[in-house]
Amino acid sequence: MKNKPSFLFFFLFFFSYFHAISSTNLIHQTCKRCSKTDPNLSYNFCVASLQSSPESRGASNLRQLGSISIKLIKRNVTGTRHFIKELLIIKNKTLTPYQKACLKDCMELYSDAVSTIEETMEAYKSKHYADANVELSSVVDAATSCEDGFGERKDVVSPLTKRNKDVFQLSAISLSIINMLINSFELIN
């Protein structure tokens, strides 16, 4: 009976310890920091995106979360590229020449983005964070340029607005995580 309180203390200690490093907590805390530093990034979008990856359940540190976020971008840009390709085929007869030209530009931008995000992942893996940062920025530029292309004429609506926005926001998550990693590296060294 005498040992009971300390056992309880121990139990609570370990419970809260493991709870603190649980992946859900990690995601929430990271997204809180990301959305605070980048007003363009929605906290809810960040949490939902990271949690949508099955890999995130096993994530126990920021570096793993960064890798997951880059994989999410890769899936997004690959999916968007495929979507544009399909759109050009299926709607070949109904799209105006202007819309087709915009979509073809986007197709090119996203084809480049697919290889750029692969390079981003390589740079990230080898902890070349500055390079990863530069490459990610060009993925953001691709999404922005694609969307801006449609905006040049008021009567043309972009069929890619949501997808471009997703890529934009997912990239903001990765950029934010990479900056956190760079800063913590500077603190240690």
Ligand X SMILES: *[C@@H]1O[C@H](CO)[C@@H](O)[C@H](O)[C@H]1NC(C)=O
Q: Are 102 and 55 in contact (CB under 8 A)?
A: no
Q: Of the ranges 36-44, 113-121, 131-139, 180-188, which one interacts with ligand X (CB under 6 A)?
A: 36-44
* By the rule CB under 6 A, 183 interacts with ligand X: no
List the one residue from 23, 35, 76, 174 that touches ligand X (CB under 6 A): 76
* By the rule CB under 6 A, 92 interacts with ligand X: yes
What is the closest distance, in whole angstroms, from the C-beta atom of residue 168 to ligand X in the complex? 7
DSSP string, 52-73: HSGGGGG--SHHHHHHHHHHHH
Residue closer to ligand X by CB (options 72, 181) is 72
Among 153, 149, 179, 173, smallest CA distance to 161 is for 149
* By the rule CB under 6 A, 114 interacts with ligand X: no
For ligand X, the nearest residue by Cβ is: 79
Q: Give the position of tokens 């056992």.
A: 7
Residue 70's Cβ-count burial label (10 Å; 0-12, 13-18, 19+) is: buried
Residue 42, helix vs strand vs coil = coil
What is the C-alpha to C-alpha distance for residues 175 and 172, in angstroms, rounded to an integer? 5
What is the C-alpha to C-alpha distance for residues 171 and 143, in angstroms, rounded to an integer? 10
CA dihedral 56, 58, 63, 67 (to 10 degrees): -40
Residue closer to ligand X by CB (options 79, 159) is 79
CA dihedral 123, 128, 131, 132 (to 10 degrees): 50
What is the closest distance, in whole angstroms, from the C-beta atom of residue 12 to ligand X in the complex? 36
* By the rule CB under 6 A, 128 interacts with ligand X: no
Q: Of the ranges 15-23, 69-77, 109-117, 181-189, which one interacts with ligand X (CB under 6 A)?
A: 69-77
* By the rule CB under 6 A, 164 interacts with ligand X: no
* By the rule CB under 6 A, 95 interacts with ligand X: no
List the one residue from 3, 40, 94, 189 that touches ligand X (CB under 6 A): 40
Q: What residue ranges bind ligand X (CB under 6 A)?
A: 38-40, 49, 52, 72, 75-76, 79-80, 88-89, 92, 166, 170
